[in-house]
A and B are shown apart, each in its own frame.
Chain A
Amino acid sequence: MLTAIIALSALAGIFGLLLGFAAVQFRVEGDPVADQIDALLPQTQCGQCSYPGCRPYAEAIAAGEAEINQCPPGGEAGVRALAELLGREPIPLNAENGVEKPKALAVIDEATCIGCTLCIQACPVDAILGAPKLMHTIIAQECTGCELCIPPCPVDCISMVPVKETVENWKWPYPDAPAPLAATAERVESEQSSSPVAA
Protein backbone atom coordinates (compact mmCIF):
# COMPACT_ATOMS: atom_id res chain seq x y z
CA MET A 1 0.00 0.00 0.00
CA LEU A 2 2.70 2.45 1.05
CA THR A 3 4.89 1.41 -1.89
CA ALA A 4 2.01 2.06 -4.23
CA ILE A 5 1.40 5.54 -2.85
CA ILE A 6 5.08 6.43 -2.91
CA ALA A 7 5.65 4.99 -6.39
CA LEU A 8 2.67 6.74 -7.94
CA SER A 9 3.44 10.03 -6.17
CA ALA A 10 7.04 9.83 -7.30
CA LEU A 11 5.99 9.11 -10.86
CA ALA A 12 3.51 11.99 -10.84
CA GLY A 13 6.13 14.26 -9.28
CA ILE A 14 8.71 13.38 -11.93
CA PHE A 15 6.17 13.95 -14.69
CA GLY A 16 5.16 17.27 -13.14
CA LEU A 17 8.79 18.39 -13.01
CA LEU A 18 9.30 17.22 -16.59
CA LEU A 19 6.31 19.18 -17.82
CA GLY A 20 7.29 22.23 -15.78
CA PHE A 21 10.79 22.05 -17.19
CA ALA A 22 9.41 21.61 -20.71
CA ALA A 23 7.09 24.57 -20.27
CA VAL A 24 10.09 26.78 -19.49
CA GLN A 25 12.47 25.18 -21.97
CA PHE A 26 10.09 25.05 -24.90
CA ARG A 27 8.25 28.29 -24.26
CA VAL A 28 7.08 29.80 -27.52
CA GLU A 29 7.58 33.52 -27.61
CA GLY A 30 4.47 35.21 -28.90
CA ASP A 31 4.96 38.26 -31.06
CA PRO A 32 5.19 41.07 -28.48
CA VAL A 33 4.34 43.75 -31.06
CA ALA A 34 1.19 41.88 -32.09
CA ASP A 35 0.24 41.62 -28.40
CA GLN A 36 0.58 45.38 -27.94
CA ILE A 37 -1.40 46.10 -31.10
CA ASP A 38 -4.07 43.64 -30.04
CA ALA A 39 -4.38 45.47 -26.71
CA LEU A 40 -5.19 48.71 -28.57
CA LEU A 41 -7.84 47.19 -30.82
CA PRO A 42 -11.44 47.40 -29.59
CA GLN A 43 -11.99 43.59 -29.53
CA THR A 44 -15.34 43.80 -31.25
CA GLN A 45 -14.29 40.83 -33.44
CA CYS A 46 -16.45 42.41 -36.15
CA GLY A 47 -14.24 41.52 -39.11
CA GLN A 48 -14.70 44.90 -40.81
CA CYS A 49 -10.90 45.07 -41.23
CA SER A 50 -11.25 42.05 -43.59
CA TYR A 51 -9.48 39.83 -41.07
CA PRO A 52 -11.40 37.18 -39.10
CA GLY A 53 -10.94 38.99 -35.77
CA CYS A 54 -8.92 41.52 -33.83
CA ARG A 55 -6.03 39.17 -33.11
CA PRO A 56 -5.44 38.18 -36.77
CA TYR A 57 -5.60 41.87 -37.73
CA ALA A 58 -3.04 42.71 -35.02
CA GLU A 59 -0.76 39.99 -36.36
CA ALA A 60 -1.19 41.30 -39.90
CA ILE A 61 -0.26 44.83 -38.79
CA ALA A 62 2.76 43.48 -36.93
CA ALA A 63 3.83 41.58 -40.04
CA GLY A 64 3.42 44.71 -42.15
CA GLU A 65 0.64 43.15 -44.26
CA ALA A 66 -2.12 45.53 -43.21
CA GLU A 67 -2.48 49.26 -42.77
CA ILE A 68 -3.40 50.71 -39.39
CA ASN A 69 -6.55 52.43 -40.68
CA GLN A 70 -8.82 49.43 -41.23
CA CYS A 71 -10.62 49.39 -37.89
CA PRO A 72 -13.82 51.48 -37.92
CA PRO A 73 -14.91 50.58 -34.34
CA GLY A 74 -11.54 51.82 -33.07
CA GLY A 75 -12.10 55.04 -34.94
CA GLU A 76 -9.69 57.93 -35.40
CA ALA A 77 -8.57 57.56 -31.80
CA GLY A 78 -7.64 53.94 -32.44
CA VAL A 79 -5.66 54.86 -35.54
CA ARG A 80 -3.84 57.56 -33.59
CA ALA A 81 -2.98 55.16 -30.77
CA LEU A 82 -1.70 52.59 -33.27
CA ALA A 83 0.31 55.25 -35.11
CA GLU A 84 1.91 56.31 -31.86
CA LEU A 85 2.75 52.73 -30.89
CA LEU A 86 4.29 51.95 -34.26
CA GLY A 87 5.92 55.34 -34.77
CA ARG A 88 3.99 56.13 -37.94
CA GLU A 89 1.97 59.09 -39.14
CA PRO A 90 -1.75 58.82 -38.33
CA ILE A 91 -3.83 58.35 -41.46
CA PRO A 92 -7.58 58.73 -41.91
CA LEU A 93 -9.79 55.65 -41.67
CA ASN A 94 -10.08 53.61 -44.83
CA ALA A 95 -13.66 54.15 -46.02
CA GLU A 96 -13.64 50.72 -47.69
CA ASN A 97 -13.71 49.08 -44.27
CA GLY A 98 -16.66 51.13 -43.07
CA VAL A 99 -17.29 54.33 -41.19
CA GLU A 100 -16.91 55.11 -37.54
CA LYS A 101 -20.19 54.93 -35.65
CA PRO A 102 -21.10 55.67 -32.04
CA LYS A 103 -20.92 52.56 -29.88
CA ALA A 104 -24.15 50.63 -30.16
CA LEU A 105 -25.60 47.40 -28.85
CA ALA A 106 -27.71 44.97 -30.80
CA VAL A 107 -31.25 44.52 -29.54
CA ILE A 108 -33.56 41.71 -30.63
CA ASP A 109 -37.22 42.49 -31.08
CA GLU A 110 -38.39 39.49 -29.15
CA ALA A 111 -41.92 39.60 -30.55
CA THR A 112 -40.65 39.18 -34.11
CA CYS A 113 -37.90 36.64 -33.42
CA ILE A 114 -38.70 33.19 -34.81
CA GLY A 115 -35.89 31.37 -33.02
CA CYS A 116 -33.88 30.33 -36.05
CA THR A 117 -30.47 30.47 -34.22
CA LEU A 118 -28.77 32.01 -37.29
CA CYS A 119 -27.66 35.07 -35.32
CA ILE A 120 -26.23 32.86 -32.57
CA GLN A 121 -23.97 31.21 -35.10
CA ALA A 122 -22.88 34.58 -36.45
CA CYS A 123 -22.05 36.14 -33.08
CA PRO A 124 -18.27 36.16 -32.58
CA VAL A 125 -18.45 36.72 -28.82
CA ASP A 126 -21.32 34.37 -27.86
CA ALA A 127 -23.45 37.26 -26.65
CA ILE A 128 -26.75 35.84 -27.92
CA LEU A 129 -28.76 33.47 -25.81
CA GLY A 130 -31.45 31.24 -27.27
CA ALA A 131 -32.46 27.85 -28.57
CA PRO A 132 -34.13 26.56 -31.73
CA LYS A 133 -37.74 27.81 -31.99
CA LEU A 134 -37.39 29.78 -28.79
CA MET A 135 -36.87 33.51 -28.92
CA HIS A 136 -33.34 34.80 -28.55
CA THR A 137 -32.02 37.66 -26.53
CA ILE A 138 -28.77 39.57 -26.35
CA ILE A 139 -26.57 39.69 -23.29
CA ALA A 140 -25.90 43.43 -23.20
CA GLN A 141 -22.68 43.13 -21.21
CA GLU A 142 -21.17 40.79 -23.79
CA CYS A 143 -22.31 42.53 -26.98
CA THR A 144 -19.54 44.40 -28.77
CA GLY A 145 -21.84 46.03 -31.31
CA CYS A 146 -20.14 44.37 -34.30
CA GLU A 147 -23.39 44.09 -36.33
CA LEU A 148 -22.47 40.61 -37.61
CA CYS A 149 -25.81 39.25 -36.41
CA ILE A 150 -27.87 41.64 -38.55
CA PRO A 151 -27.34 40.20 -42.08
CA PRO A 152 -28.23 36.56 -41.25
CA CYS A 153 -31.53 37.43 -39.52
CA PRO A 154 -34.36 36.30 -41.85
CA VAL A 155 -37.03 38.48 -40.20
CA ASP A 156 -34.91 41.61 -39.59
CA CYS A 157 -35.68 41.67 -35.91
CA ILE A 158 -32.26 42.91 -34.76
CA SER A 159 -31.59 46.61 -34.50
CA MET A 160 -28.62 48.58 -33.28
CA VAL A 161 -29.34 50.92 -30.38
CA PRO A 162 -26.63 53.49 -29.60
CA VAL A 163 -25.32 53.39 -26.05
CA LYS A 164 -26.03 56.60 -24.19
CA GLU A 165 -23.50 57.90 -21.75
CA THR A 166 -24.97 57.41 -18.30
CA VAL A 167 -23.66 57.80 -14.79
CA GLU A 168 -22.97 54.04 -14.77
CA ASN A 169 -20.81 53.77 -17.87
CA TRP A 170 -19.19 57.21 -18.09
CA LYS A 171 -15.49 57.25 -17.54
CA TRP A 172 -12.65 59.67 -17.90
CA PRO A 173 -11.26 59.79 -21.40
CA TYR A 174 -7.80 58.30 -21.75
CA PRO A 175 -5.16 61.01 -21.66
CA ASP A 176 -3.05 59.55 -24.46
CA ALA A 177 -5.78 58.62 -26.90
CA PRO A 178 -7.87 61.75 -27.44
CA ALA A 179 -11.61 61.27 -27.71
CA PRO A 180 -13.00 60.79 -31.24
CA LEU A 181 -13.02 64.05 -33.16
CA ALA A 182 -16.77 64.15 -33.71
CA ALA A 183 -17.58 63.60 -30.05
CA THR A 184 -15.09 66.25 -28.97
CA ALA A 185 -16.51 68.76 -31.41
CA GLU A 186 -20.01 68.00 -30.19
CA ARG A 187 -19.04 68.48 -26.57
CA VAL A 188 -17.24 71.74 -27.30
CA GLU A 189 -20.29 72.95 -29.18
CA SER A 190 -22.69 72.03 -26.41
CA GLU A 191 -20.45 73.63 -23.80
CA GLN A 192 -20.32 76.80 -25.84
CA SER A 193 -24.06 76.93 -26.31
CA SER A 194 -24.89 76.19 -22.67
CA SER A 195 -22.42 78.61 -21.13
CA PRO A 196 -21.48 81.17 -23.72
CA VAL A 197 -19.96 83.54 -21.19
CA ALA A 198 -17.85 81.05 -19.28
CA ALA A 199 -14.80 83.17 -19.75
Chain B
Amino acid sequence: MKEYALILVSTILVNNFVLVKFLGLCPFMGVSRKLETAAGMGLATTFVLTLSSICAYLSNAYLLAPLGLEYLRTITFILVIAVVVQFTEMVVHKTSPLLYQVLGIFLPLITTNCAVLGVALLNIQEQNDFIESGLYGFGAAIGFSLVLVLFAALRERIAVADVPVHFQGAAISLVTAGLMSLAFMGFSGLVRG
Protein backbone atom coordinates (compact mmCIF):
# COMPACT_ATOMS: atom_id res chain seq x y z
CA MET B 1 0.00 0.00 0.00
CA LYS B 2 2.83 2.31 0.96
CA GLU B 3 4.55 2.05 -2.40
CA TYR B 4 1.32 2.96 -4.19
CA ALA B 5 1.04 6.14 -2.15
CA LEU B 6 4.69 6.83 -2.88
CA ILE B 7 4.12 6.43 -6.62
CA LEU B 8 1.30 8.97 -6.48
CA VAL B 9 3.27 11.54 -4.47
CA SER B 10 6.30 10.97 -6.61
CA THR B 11 4.52 11.50 -9.93
CA ILE B 12 2.30 14.36 -8.79
CA LEU B 13 4.85 16.49 -6.95
CA VAL B 14 8.43 15.26 -6.94
CA ASN B 15 8.79 14.02 -10.50
CA ASN B 16 6.10 16.23 -11.96
CA PHE B 17 5.95 15.49 -15.67
CA VAL B 18 5.68 19.07 -16.81
CA LEU B 19 7.89 21.00 -14.43
CA VAL B 20 10.54 18.42 -13.58
CA LYS B 21 10.62 16.02 -16.52
CA PHE B 22 9.62 18.71 -19.06
CA LEU B 23 7.15 16.53 -20.93
CA GLY B 24 3.85 17.74 -22.36
CA LEU B 25 4.97 21.34 -22.64
CA CYS B 26 2.88 22.25 -25.67
CA PRO B 27 -0.52 21.86 -24.00
CA PHE B 28 1.06 23.44 -20.92
CA MET B 29 1.72 26.62 -22.86
CA GLY B 30 -1.10 26.23 -25.38
CA VAL B 31 -4.25 25.75 -23.32
CA SER B 32 -3.30 27.52 -20.12
CA ARG B 33 -4.66 30.89 -21.14
CA LYS B 34 -8.01 30.36 -19.45
CA LEU B 35 -8.86 28.46 -16.30
CA GLU B 36 -11.85 26.62 -17.83
CA THR B 37 -9.94 25.27 -20.82
CA ALA B 38 -7.08 24.26 -18.55
CA ALA B 39 -9.48 22.32 -16.34
CA GLY B 40 -11.06 20.65 -19.39
CA MET B 41 -7.68 19.68 -20.74
CA GLY B 42 -6.63 18.35 -17.34
CA LEU B 43 -9.76 16.22 -17.10
CA ALA B 44 -9.35 14.79 -20.60
CA THR B 45 -5.67 14.09 -20.04
CA THR B 46 -6.32 12.30 -16.76
CA PHE B 47 -8.83 10.08 -18.49
CA VAL B 48 -6.62 9.21 -21.44
CA LEU B 49 -3.32 8.95 -19.58
CA THR B 50 -4.59 6.42 -17.07
CA LEU B 51 -6.26 4.32 -19.74
CA SER B 52 -3.38 4.45 -22.21
CA SER B 53 -0.85 3.71 -19.50
CA ILE B 54 -2.71 0.49 -18.66
CA CYS B 55 -3.22 -0.45 -22.33
CA ALA B 56 0.43 0.19 -23.13
CA TYR B 57 1.45 -1.98 -20.19
CA LEU B 58 -0.83 -4.79 -21.37
CA SER B 59 0.39 -4.65 -24.96
CA ASN B 60 3.99 -4.71 -23.76
CA ALA B 61 3.54 -7.51 -21.25
CA TYR B 62 1.38 -9.80 -23.37
CA LEU B 63 2.46 -9.03 -26.92
CA LEU B 64 5.90 -7.48 -27.19
CA ALA B 65 7.75 -9.16 -24.33
CA PRO B 66 6.73 -12.79 -25.12
CA LEU B 67 7.65 -12.33 -28.78
CA GLY B 68 10.91 -10.56 -27.99
CA LEU B 69 9.86 -7.44 -29.88
CA GLU B 70 10.78 -4.84 -27.27
CA TYR B 71 12.39 -2.67 -29.94
CA LEU B 72 8.93 -2.01 -31.39
CA ARG B 73 7.74 -0.38 -28.17
CA THR B 74 7.60 3.21 -29.36
CA ILE B 75 5.61 2.57 -32.51
CA THR B 76 3.30 0.12 -30.74
CA PHE B 77 2.62 2.59 -27.95
CA ILE B 78 1.87 5.36 -30.44
CA LEU B 79 -0.60 3.02 -32.12
CA VAL B 80 -2.18 2.04 -28.80
CA ILE B 81 -2.49 5.63 -27.63
CA ALA B 82 -4.05 6.79 -30.89
CA VAL B 83 -6.60 3.98 -30.78
CA VAL B 84 -7.41 4.53 -27.11
CA VAL B 85 -8.00 8.23 -27.72
CA GLN B 86 -10.19 7.60 -30.77
CA PHE B 87 -12.16 4.88 -29.06
CA THR B 88 -12.65 6.96 -25.92
CA GLU B 89 -13.87 9.87 -27.99
CA MET B 90 -16.47 7.72 -29.74
CA VAL B 91 -17.70 6.12 -26.53
CA VAL B 92 -17.89 9.43 -24.69
CA HIS B 93 -19.68 11.06 -27.63
CA LYS B 94 -22.30 8.34 -27.55
CA THR B 95 -22.72 7.74 -23.85
CA SER B 96 -22.21 11.17 -22.32
CA PRO B 97 -22.82 14.17 -24.61
CA LEU B 98 -22.29 16.49 -21.65
CA LEU B 99 -18.81 15.16 -20.89
CA TYR B 100 -18.10 15.24 -24.63
CA GLN B 101 -18.94 18.93 -24.69
CA VAL B 102 -16.71 19.62 -21.70
CA LEU B 103 -13.74 17.71 -23.10
CA GLY B 104 -14.49 18.85 -26.65
CA ILE B 105 -11.47 19.44 -28.83
CA PHE B 106 -9.01 18.46 -26.09
CA LEU B 107 -9.64 14.77 -26.40
CA PRO B 108 -8.16 14.28 -29.90
CA LEU B 109 -5.41 16.81 -29.11
CA ILE B 110 -4.04 14.52 -26.42
CA THR B 111 -2.98 11.97 -29.05
CA THR B 112 0.02 14.14 -29.78
CA ASN B 113 0.85 14.88 -26.15
CA CYS B 114 4.35 13.60 -25.49
CA ALA B 115 3.61 13.11 -21.79
CA VAL B 116 1.27 10.26 -22.75
CA LEU B 117 3.96 8.43 -24.69
CA GLY B 118 6.49 9.35 -22.01
CA VAL B 119 4.43 7.71 -19.29
CA ALA B 120 4.00 4.54 -21.32
CA LEU B 121 7.74 4.26 -21.95
CA LEU B 122 8.76 5.20 -18.41
CA ASN B 123 6.44 2.51 -17.05
CA ILE B 124 8.56 -0.09 -18.80
CA GLN B 125 11.79 1.55 -17.72
CA GLU B 126 10.71 1.56 -14.07
CA GLN B 127 9.46 -2.02 -14.39
CA ASN B 128 6.05 -1.17 -12.97
CA ASP B 129 3.48 -3.93 -12.70
CA PHE B 130 -0.16 -3.63 -13.81
CA ILE B 131 -1.53 -1.66 -10.86
CA GLU B 132 1.60 0.45 -10.57
CA SER B 133 1.34 1.33 -14.26
CA GLY B 134 -2.21 2.52 -13.81
CA LEU B 135 -1.29 4.55 -10.74
CA TYR B 136 1.79 5.95 -12.45
CA GLY B 137 -0.33 7.16 -15.36
CA PHE B 138 -3.02 8.50 -13.07
CA GLY B 139 -0.51 10.30 -10.86
CA ALA B 140 1.28 11.78 -13.85
CA ALA B 141 -2.03 13.06 -15.19
CA ILE B 142 -3.07 14.54 -11.83
CA GLY B 143 0.31 16.26 -11.62
CA PHE B 144 -0.14 17.57 -15.16
CA SER B 145 -3.64 18.85 -14.39
CA LEU B 146 -2.54 20.45 -11.14
CA VAL B 147 0.30 22.33 -12.78
CA LEU B 148 -1.87 23.28 -15.75
CA VAL B 149 -4.60 24.75 -13.57
CA LEU B 150 -2.09 26.56 -11.33
CA PHE B 151 -0.34 27.99 -14.36
CA ALA B 152 -3.63 29.05 -15.96
CA ALA B 153 -4.55 30.90 -12.78
CA LEU B 154 -1.17 32.63 -12.82
CA ARG B 155 -1.55 33.59 -16.46
CA GLU B 156 -4.98 35.05 -15.85
CA ARG B 157 -3.37 37.31 -13.27
CA ILE B 158 -0.49 38.14 -15.59
CA ALA B 159 -2.92 39.10 -18.35
CA VAL B 160 -4.02 42.13 -16.32
CA ALA B 161 -0.63 42.84 -14.74
CA ASP B 162 1.62 45.67 -15.86
CA VAL B 163 4.31 43.67 -17.65
CA PRO B 164 7.28 45.49 -19.25
CA VAL B 165 6.84 45.65 -23.03
CA HIS B 166 9.71 43.34 -23.88
CA PHE B 167 8.47 40.63 -21.54
CA GLN B 168 4.88 40.61 -22.71
CA GLY B 169 3.22 37.48 -24.06
CA ALA B 170 5.17 34.26 -24.38
CA ALA B 171 8.29 35.66 -22.65
CA ILE B 172 6.65 36.33 -19.30
CA SER B 173 4.79 33.01 -19.54
CA LEU B 174 8.03 31.11 -19.95
CA VAL B 175 9.68 33.03 -17.13
CA THR B 176 6.72 32.17 -14.91
CA ALA B 177 6.91 28.52 -15.95
CA GLY B 178 10.60 28.50 -15.09
CA LEU B 179 9.93 29.95 -11.64
CA MET B 180 7.20 27.36 -11.07
CA SER B 181 9.62 24.66 -12.10
CA LEU B 182 12.15 25.98 -9.57
CA ALA B 183 9.47 25.91 -6.90
CA PHE B 184 8.62 22.30 -7.74
CA MET B 185 12.30 21.37 -7.46
CA GLY B 186 11.75 22.09 -3.77
CA PHE B 187 9.76 18.86 -3.52
CA SER B 188 12.74 16.71 -4.41
CA GLY B 189 13.88 14.83 -1.35
CA LEU B 190 10.25 14.46 -0.23
CA VAL B 191 10.26 10.94 -1.65
CA ARG B 192 13.05 8.84 -3.00
CA GLY B 193 12.45 7.86 -6.61
Contact = CB atoms under 8 A, between A and B. Distances in A.
B90 A3 contact: no
A3 B93 contact: no
B59 interface: yes
A56 to B, nearest CB: 14
B67 A19 contact: no
Nearest to B86: A19
Interface stretch (B75-83, B123-131, B158-166, B184-192): B75-83
B79 A22 contact: no
Contacts of B63: 7, 11
Contact of B69 (A3, A12, A15): A3
17 contacts: A3-B69, A4-B72, A7-B64, A7-B67, A8-B75, A11-B59, A11-B63, A18-B83, A19-B83, A22-B86, A22-B90, A22-B91, A26-B90, A26-B93, A26-B95, A27-B94, A28-B93
A12 B83 CA distance: 9
Interface in B73-114: 75-76, 79-80, 83, 86-87, 90-91, 93-95
Closest 7 CB pairs of A and B: A26-B94, A15-B83, A26-B90, A22-B90, A4-B69, A28-B93, A3-B67
A70 to B, nearest CB: 25
Interface of A: 3-4, 7-8, 11-12, 15, 18-19, 22-23, 26-28
B87 A28 contact: no
Interface of A is mostly: helix
Given A3-B69, A26-B93, A11 B86 contact: no
B87 to A, nearest CB: 6
Interface string B112-149: 00000000000000000000000000000000000000
Nearest to B93: A28
A15 B67 contact: no
Most buried by B among A4, A11, A12, A27: A11
A188 to B, nearest CB: 51
A27 B93 CA distance: 9
Given A12-B79, A18-B83, A19-B83, A7 B69 contact: yes
B99 to A, nearest CB: 13
A18 B87 contact: yes
Given A7-B69, A22-B87, A15 B79 contact: yes
B111 to A, nearest CB: 13
A4 B72 CA distance: 8
Contacts of B76: 8, 11
Given A4-B69, A19-B83, A22-B91, 5 more contacts: A8-B72, A8-B75, A11-B76, A11-B79, A18-B83
B27 to A, nearest CB: 24
B60 to A, nearest CB: 12
A8 to B, nearest CB: 6
Nearest to A14: B83
B83 A23 contact: no
